[in-house]
């Protein structure tokens, strides 16, 4: 547990005034970038605009204060939008807060048990399929606001949603659509004019001014949510019941999974940019604590935000102080400028989310993965389609199951049991040349069979082993099992091994083991199979085993 130390406590030992100035500038700039994104993501998730700011303030501060990365910026991200929208629609904000607390506890558990490095075992096609699916769903949820279709209750089901769009296609409000297009144009092209002021902020200001000055009848944050609260977030414990916990365990795991994956991926990218190394386990603990803290103050799920983290780095941020200042600046904005946020048109927020969806889509990576092996393409497309059409939880569950089964198949394909021909009386499957080469290495012995196991000996390959053992006939006196190419063995393979020993005993075949490595040896020892085989029947090489057989026969 001594290694679970926040980066803040490490960097403060050599912290300087000049670095504080850089962190303050970077944190302030990132806060301006986070402002429109936090509001847009919260609104699109079915929460209030204030909830997005609460998340960036509370969650962002905790992530920086406790995190394992020097430069990670935390807050709401697009990855959570679909799951959060679904939870709020079915269980309300109280249900979301319970799911966030459960997710936070899961992440803390993963961090405490040093499981932060498990991120590298998640298949890339699955992540890409999921994030691309989420991007497509985000885009679809913003069509109504961007075009001003005026649909009061947009269907939750993806297919039904697009049917509703088709039925209302002639209800497009041209003014709303025009402001949305202008906002989109500003977001895309403003960086070519200036990169110091975020394009999203310019888009919000310009669109709000147009609506206010010309008094256009366009849906805004104010018309949808009413007067916004400019006060500090209030502490509140959600009403937690056992039945609610059971219903929300699935969404909680999804939130924990997404938060863990996105934050650790962001931390890895930032490490490469600043030449540092993050503590993945401490980062998970910070992310979990941040989600619990945010839930208790009325926010939405948070995680490490890559775009904001990169902006922090590019503007000179090098310590967690920058992330903490980002939260403080947002807090100042919350208590002083929130009334102005009510003037922002929903179509401008939709334009921001269109760009978020495009950046999330990873369409180049998606296109490249279509050239991968068929099994990877199957995972990619299945996760993508199920995320869009069915449910995010189901998509991840099916993606994980498919990945595990395909991994088992691949491991089974590379793990095999090959026959070394030491029995001159057997018909040879090998070519004559190969048989001659085999004979040069090993002497010809009647009544001796050798099986060599190649690759990890696990449940995916155990059935192959039993198949070849069952084929042994009564003429065989000795069976040599070569295991120098077996790095590991699992419980199923141990069971198969034990079964094979019983088969050999029933056929009066003596089993000799060669080349046993450390992990398989300890596994066989714990299962008491070393005693069954006999320690005098364990050899380093095949030559030693052959010499043992010849000595026994000569005796």
Tens-place pLDDT, residues 89-125: 999 999 999 999 999 999 999 999 888 777 666 777 8
Query: To 5 degrees, how large is the angle CA 264–CA 265–CA 269?
Result: 115
Decide if pLDDT at 540 tops 60: yes
Most confident range (mean pLDDT) of 63-77, 251-265, 529-543 is 63-77
Looking at residues 185-195, what average pLDDT do you find?
90
317 within some domain = yes
Among candidate residues 244, 437, 314, the one with its CA nearest the CA of residue 25: 314
Decide if pLDDT at 378 tops 80: yes
Residue 496 belongs to domain spanning: 415-554
Decide if pLDDT at 414 tops 60: no
Residues listed for the chain:
555
Q: Are residues 366 and 427 in the same domain?
A: no
- What confidence tens digit (pLDDT) does each residue in 132-182 have? 888 888 888 889 999 999 888 888 778 888 899 999 989 999 999 999 999
Separation of alpha carbons 536 and 524, rounded Å: 15
Query: Residue 489: phi, psi to the nearest 5?
Result: -140, 140
- The reported pLDDT for the residue numbered 336 is 86
- The reported pLDDT for the residue numbered 313 is 92
1 within some domain = no
Q: Are residues 176 and 285 in the same domain?
A: yes
48 within some domain = yes
Count of the separate structural domains present in the chain: 2
Locus of tokens 């075992």: 121
Domain final residue pick, 405, 439, 465: 405
Please spell the DSSP secondary structure of 184-221, one letter per residue: HHHHHHGGGT-SSS-HHHHHHHHHHHHHHHHT----BH
- What confidence tens digit (pLDDT) does each residue in 456-472 have? 777 656 666 777 788 77
Least confident residue range of 429-433, 479-483, 525-529: 429-433
233 within some domain = no
- The reported pLDDT for the residue numbered 419 is 55
Q: Are residues 281 and 381 in the same domain?
A: yes
Look up the CATH number of the domain holding residue 481.
Answer: 3.30.750.24
359 within some domain = yes
- State the alpha helices, DSSP H only, in 280-391: 280-296, 306-314, 320-341, 346-361, 363-369, 374-389
Separation of alpha carbons 352 and 178, rounded Å: 15
How buried is 441 (Cβ within 10 angstroms: 0-12 exposed, 13-18 middle, 19+ buried)? exposed
Q: Are residues 401 and 429 in the same domain?
A: no
Q: Are residues 328 and 439 in the same domain?
A: no
| Residue 62 vs residue 520, higher pLDDT | 62
- The reported pLDDT for the residue numbered 410 is 64
447 within some domain = yes
| Residue 103 vs residue 549, higher pLDDT | 103
Domain final residue pick, 405, 425, 452: 405
Q: Are residues 450 and 387 in the same domain?
A: no
Looking at residues 289-300, what average pLDDT do you find?
96
Q: Helix (H, G, I), strand (E, B), or coil: what is residue 428? A: coil
Q: Are residues 397 and 434 in the same domain?
A: no
- The reported pLDDT for the residue numbered 433 is 39
Give the β-pairing of 478-485 and 510-514: parallel
Q: Are residues 207 and 61 in the same domain?
A: yes
pTM: 0.73
47 within some domain = yes
Q: Which residues pair with 539 in a beta bridge?
A: 514
Q: Are residues 363 and 486 in the same domain?
A: no
Give the β-pairing of 478-485 and 448-454: parallel
Decide if pLDDT at 411 tops 90: no
Looking at residues 233-254, what average pLDDT do you find?
92
Domain final residue pick, 347, 379, 405: 405
Among candidate residues 547, 491, 492, the one with its CA nearest the CA of residue 514: 547
Q: Are residues 321 and 428 in the same domain?
A: no
Q: Are residues 395 and 426 in the same domain?
A: no
234 within some domain = no
Q: Are residues 333 and 207 in the same domain?
A: yes
């Amino acid at each position: 547990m001594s290694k679970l130390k926040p980066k803040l406590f490490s960097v403060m030992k050599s912290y300087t005034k000049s670095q504080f100035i850089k962190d303050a500038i970077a944190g302030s700039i990132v806060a301006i970038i986070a402002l429109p994104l936090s509001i847009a993501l919260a609104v699109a998730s079915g929460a209030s605009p204030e909830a997005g700011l609460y998340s960036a303030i509370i969650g962002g501060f905790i992530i920086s204060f406790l995190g394992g990365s020097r430069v990670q910026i935390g807050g709401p991200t697009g990855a959570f939008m679909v799951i959060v929208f679904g939870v709020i629609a079915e269980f309300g904000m109280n249900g979301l807060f319970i799911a966030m607390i459960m997710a936070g506890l899961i992440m803390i558990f993963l961090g405490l048990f040093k499981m932060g490095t498990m991120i590298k075992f998640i298949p890339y096609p699955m992540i890409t399929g999921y994030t691309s699916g989420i991007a497509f769903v985000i885009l679809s949820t913003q069509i109504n606001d961007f075009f001003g279709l005026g649909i009061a209750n947009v269907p939750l089901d993806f297919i039904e949603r697009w049917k509703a769009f088709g039925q209302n296609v002639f209800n497009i409000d041209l003014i709303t659509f025009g402001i949305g297009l202008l906002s989109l144009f500003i977001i895309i092209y403003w960086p070519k004019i200036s990169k110091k002021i975020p394009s999203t902020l310019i888009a919000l200001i310009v669109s709000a001014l147009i609506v206010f000055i010309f008094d256009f009848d366009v849906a805004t944050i104010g018309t949808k949510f009413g007067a916004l609260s400019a006060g500090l977030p209030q502490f509140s414990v959600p009403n937690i019941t056992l039945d609610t916990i059971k219903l929300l365990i699935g969404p909680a795991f999804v939130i924990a999974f997404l938060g863990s994956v996105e934050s650790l991926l962001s931390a890895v990218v930032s490490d490469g940019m600043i030449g540092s190394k993050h503590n993945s386990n401490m980062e998970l603990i910070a992310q979990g604590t941040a989600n619990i803290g945010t839930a208790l103050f009325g926010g939405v799920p948070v995680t490490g935000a890559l775009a904001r983290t990169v902006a922090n780095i590019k503007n000179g941020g090098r310590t967690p102080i920058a992330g903490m200042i980002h939260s403080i600046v947002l807090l100042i904005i919350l208590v002083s400028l929130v009334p102005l946020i009510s003037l922002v048109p929903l179509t401008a927020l939709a334009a921001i989310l269109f760009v978020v969806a495009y950046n999330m889509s990873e369409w180049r990576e998606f296109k490249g993965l279509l050239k991968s092996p068929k099994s990877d393409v199957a995972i990619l497309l299945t996760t993508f389609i199920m995320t869009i059409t069915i449910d995010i939880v189901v998509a991840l569950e099916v993606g994980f199951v498919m990945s595990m089964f395909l991994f088992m198949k691949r491991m089974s394909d590379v793990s095999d049991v090959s026959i070394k021909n030491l029995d001159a009386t057997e018909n040879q499957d090998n070519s004559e040349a190969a048989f001659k080469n085999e004979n040069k290495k090993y002497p010809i012995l009647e009544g001796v069979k050798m099986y060599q196991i190649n690759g990890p000996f696990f449940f995916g390959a155990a059935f192959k082993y039993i198949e070849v053992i069952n084929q042994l006939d009564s003429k065989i006196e000795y069976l040599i099992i070569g295991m120098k190419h077996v790095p590991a063995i699992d419980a199923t393979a141990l069971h198969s091994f034990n079964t094979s020993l019983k088969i050999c005993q029933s056929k009066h075949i003596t089993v000799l083991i060669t080349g046993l490595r450390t992990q398989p040896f300890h596994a066989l020892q714990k299962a008491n199979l070393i005693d069954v085989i006999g320690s005098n029947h364990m050899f380093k090489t095949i030559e030693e085993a052959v010499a043992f057989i010849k000595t026994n026969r000569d005796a």
